[in-house]
């Protein structure tokens, strides 16, 4: 399994995803500021691992703090929570991980933990978030793998693999699960403009695993579906609203529309930390807009004139009606999602009761 991120010698080490697939370079973060920069600039990217990185960044802040008392330590900790929360707005795993760290921190302070205890406990909590994510992905892979037909042509978009999680992956976890269960698969990886996570990262991961992988430009999927070379779609998610609307990498919505048109099942694979029951539908999900340079350039090469206007939303929202199922570590949710997603958290949504 790929080492996406790790706590090592009181630092956070991560593979620089901007440099893959041509160079495998590791970045060492010494401070929460370093981690925030790494998230913002996409050294580390992908919803679940952004959450892990933030948790480790908070633990790093405590580790490095000169504070002698819990009052000062708390002030610094909360400042670092704000810093990390301001990095990228769409992936809810980031806010989920920060909230979890905050909750554990305040509980421990109330219970009378000292500065050294807090440092150790919060490092353990960050590691637990990491380890639980790997376990969730494994389970998503096991459950989702069973949905993949024998002799499958699978389309995936962006990178929802080991690199986007603490390990194994969500959408790529489903593909890995299918292979482990003995299915024959051929994977089509959308290149995923503008940042090319599919061509650079998904293809790199799958090729390393010896899985049959074909990179396609984003505008080729319709023809492959028409020709019956794709019969299954699986993607990851950055945030899933309570009604099952799914925010994921820009272009996912296009893929979902094509899948519906061609009668191809469209699955979303995500851990429960990606589900945001507090957001009722996709219209409430903040969509990050990134720099114009990502669109006007491919790597160092300029492909659009300076004078052109650019629109660069990093994510889109796929309406729940286009989603065949949401594969989580607790089971596969089906429509109506307002009920099935709430059940994952043992909650009954008001709408479900009203119906």
Phi-psi region of 301 (alpha: psi -120 to 50; beta: other; left: phi over 0): beta
Q: Which of 9, 99, 227, 238 is catalytic?
A: 238
Out of 248, 273, 279, 338, the residue judged to bind ligand MRU by CB under 6 A: 248
Alpha helices in the chain (DSSP H): 32-40, 47-64, 70-85, 92-110, 115-145, 171-180, 197, 203-208, 221-226, 252-262, 293-296, 337-344, 350-354
Tell me how far apart the alpha carbons of residues 133 and 145 are, in angstroms, rounded to a whole number. Answer: 18
The site map against ligand MRU for 288-327 (x = CB under 6 A) is --------------------------x-------------
C-beta of 170 vs 279, nearer to ligand MRU: 170
Out of 238, 245, 316, 329, the residue judged to bind ligand MRU by CB under 6 A: 238
Q: Which of residues 187-216 bind ligand MRU (CB under 6 A)?
A: 197
Judged by CB under 6 A, the stretch of 23-31, 77-85, 162-170, 330-338 that binds ligand MRU is: 162-170
- 115-to-68, 108, 240, 250 alpha-carbon distances in Å: 7, 10, 37, 43
- 239-241 and 275-276: which strand pairing? parallel
153 interacts with ligand MRU by CB under 6 A:
no
The site map against ligand MRU for 103-142 (x = CB under 6 A) is ----------------------------------------
Judged by CB under 6 A, the stretch of 28-36, 207-215, 231-239, 330-338 that binds ligand MRU is: 231-239
Answer yes or no: are the C-beta atoms of 194 and 314 closer than 8 Å: no
Tell me how far apart the alpha carbons of residues 355 and 353 are, in angstroms, rounded to a whole number. Answer: 6
The CA radius of gyration of the chain, in Å to the nearest whole number, is 20
Answer yes or no: are the C-beta atoms of 303 and 296 closer than 8 Å: yes
Chain Cα centroid distance, residue 341: 18
Please, what is the minimum distance in Å from the beta carbon of residue 271 to ligand MRU? 8
The site map against ligand MRU for 74-103 (x = CB under 6 A) is -----------------x------------
Closest by Cα among 118, 124, 120, 125 to 99: 125
Q: Which of residues 13-72 bind ligand MRU (CB under 6 A)?
A: 45-48
- 266-269 and 301-302: which strand pairing? unpaired
Residue number, nearest CB to ligand MRU: 236
Please, what is the minimum distance in Å from the beta carbon of residue 279 to ligand MRU? 16
73 interacts with ligand MRU by CB under 6 A:
no
Please, what is the minimum distance in Å from the beta carbon of residue 237 to ligand MRU? 6
Answer yes or no: are the C-beta atoms of 196 and 19 closer than 8 Å: no
Please, what is the minimum distance in Å from the beta carbon of residue 261 to ligand MRU? 22
Active site residue 238: yes
237 interacts with ligand MRU by CB under 6 A:
yes
| Residues designated as active site | 238
Instruction: Report the interface residues with ligand MRU, using CB under 6 A.
Output: 45-48, 91, 158, 160, 164-165, 170, 197, 236-238, 248-249, 314
């Amino acid at each position: 399994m790929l080492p996406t991120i790790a706590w090592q010698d009181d630092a956070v080490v991560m593979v620089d995803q901007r440099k893959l697939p041509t160079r495998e370079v590791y970045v060492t973060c010494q401070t929460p500021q370093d981690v925030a920069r790494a998230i913002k600039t996409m050294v580390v990217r992908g919803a679940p691992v952004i959450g892990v990185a933030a948790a480790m960044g908070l633990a790093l802040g405590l580790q490095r703090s000169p504070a002698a008392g819990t009052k000062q330590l708390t002030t610094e900790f909360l400042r670092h929570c704000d810093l990390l929360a301001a990095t990228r707005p769409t992936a809810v795993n980031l806010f989920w991980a920060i909230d979890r760290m905050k909750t554990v921190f305040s509980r421990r302070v109330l219970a009378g933990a000292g500065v050294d205890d807090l440092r150790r406990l919060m490092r353990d909590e960050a590691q637990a978030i990491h380890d639980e994510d790997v376990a969730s992905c494994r389970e998503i892979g096991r459950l989702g793998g069973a949905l993949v037909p024998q002799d499958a042509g699978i389309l995936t978009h962006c990178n929802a693999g080991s690199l986007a999680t603490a390990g194994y992956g969500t959408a790529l976890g489903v593909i890995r699960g299918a292979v482990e269960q003995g299915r024959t698969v051929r994977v089509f990886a959308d290149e995923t403009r503008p940042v090319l996570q599919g061509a650079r990262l998904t293809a790199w991961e799958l090729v390393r695993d010896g899985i049959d992988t074909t990179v396609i430009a984003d505008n080729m999927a319709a023809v492959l579906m028409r020709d019956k070379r794709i019969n299954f779609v699986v993607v990851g998610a950055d945030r899933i609203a309570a009604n099952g609307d799914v925010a994921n990498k820009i272009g996912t919505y296009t893929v979902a529309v094509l899948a519906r048109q061609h009668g191809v099942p469209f699955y979303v694979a995500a851990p429960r930390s990606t589900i945001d029951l507090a957001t009722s539908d996709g219209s409430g999900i903040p969509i990050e807009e990134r720099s114009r340079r990502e669109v006007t350039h491919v790597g160092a090469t300029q492909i659009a004139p300076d004078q052109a206007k650019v629109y660069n939303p990093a994510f889109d929202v796929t309406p729940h009606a286009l989603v065949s199922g949401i594969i989580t570590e607790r089971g596969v949710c089906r429509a109506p999602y307002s009920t099935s997603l709430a059940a994952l958290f043992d909650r009954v949504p008001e709408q479900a009761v009203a119906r």
